[in-house]
Amino acid sequence: MTSRLHPGGLQSYHDINPDMTTLGKYLAGGSSFGCFGGKEEIMKAFDEGRSDGGLVLSHPGTFNNNVISMRAGCVALEILTDDVLVEMNILGEGMRKELNELCIKYGVQERMWVTGVGSLMALHFGERKEGDDFREYLKVKNKDVEDLFWFWMVENGVYLARRGFVALSIEHRKEHVERFLEVAEGFLKTWAHVFR
């Protein structure tokens, strides 16, 4: 999923040269698709034409060599330029910043906050805990408020994952983000008291 966050993926951003890389269906416009690649010594194990007598691994898959997925992938690579990815992630960074500012404005920042990077973000509901242990957050997560937020958003025409996950796509524009923020602020105006 992190390959959408930077031209070359987060591995490029962080100057990491992994043994293997995987890419998902966003690369084929959402169609059933996945791909992987890696260092030569790993990938040659899948080369049926290898002449060194080494072990050859088969790679079965429902959508291997699927013409529709492959064509969608080729077109996606034409559309997903570096500039498009950068623009999408800048939009996400701004959205996350504004959502957190709304939480502060309504005094709920210790009970509702947003984390993420680039075009990916997650809304959190519950007692804010410092640290990296996600299990601690799960102990204090407020599922009732999370559900209330989700139903509010959907009822007002804004869809996001039930668990509070948001993934912007290249089709999202400033006006979509503004609508999300408008509906989220409506929720906070109406329901901020349930956080106390």
CATH of the domain at 144: 3.90.1150.10
Domain limits for position 97: 83-195
What is the number of other CB atoms lying within 10 angstroms of the CB of residue 126? Answer: 19
In this structure, are 102 and 161 located in the same domain? yes
In this structure, are 136 and 51 located in the same domain? no
In this structure, are 92 and 141 located in the same domain? yes
Q: Is the pLDDT of residue 184 over 90?
A: yes
Question: Where a domain ends, among 29, 59, 80?
Answer: 80
In this structure, are 36 and 68 located in the same domain? yes
Helix, strand, coil shares of the chain, percent, nearest 5, are: 50, 15, 35
In this structure, are 74 and 112 located in the same domain? no
Buried b (16+ CB within 10 A) or exposed e, 42-66: eebeeeeeeeeeeeeeeeeeeeeeb
What is the number of other CB atoms lying within 10 angstroms of the CB of residue 179? Answer: 14
CB 173 within 8 Å of CB 95:
no
Tell me what pLDDT residue 152 has: 98
Number of domains in the chain: 2
pLDDT averaged over every residue in the chain: 89
| Token pair in block for residue 26 | 């966003």
| Span 8-46, pLDDT tens digits | 888 888 999 999 988 877 777 777 778 888 999 899 988
In this structure, are 39 and 97 located in the same domain? no
Q: Is the pLDDT of residue 1 over 70?
A: no
- Identify which has the larger pLDDT, 49 or 43: 43
Closest to 110 (Cα-Cα) out of 133, 142, 132, 139: 142
Tell me what pLDDT residue 63 has: 64
> Which pairs with CB-CB distance under 8 Å and at least 24 residues apart come from 32-41?
32/62, 32/63, 32/66, 32/69, 33/63, 33/66, 33/69, 33/72, 33/73, 34/61, 34/63, 35/73
Task: Indicate the pTM of the whole model.
Answer: 0.82
- Identify which has the larger pLDDT, 137 or 105: 105
Q: How confident is the model at residue 189 (pLDDT cuts 50, 70, 90)?
A: very high
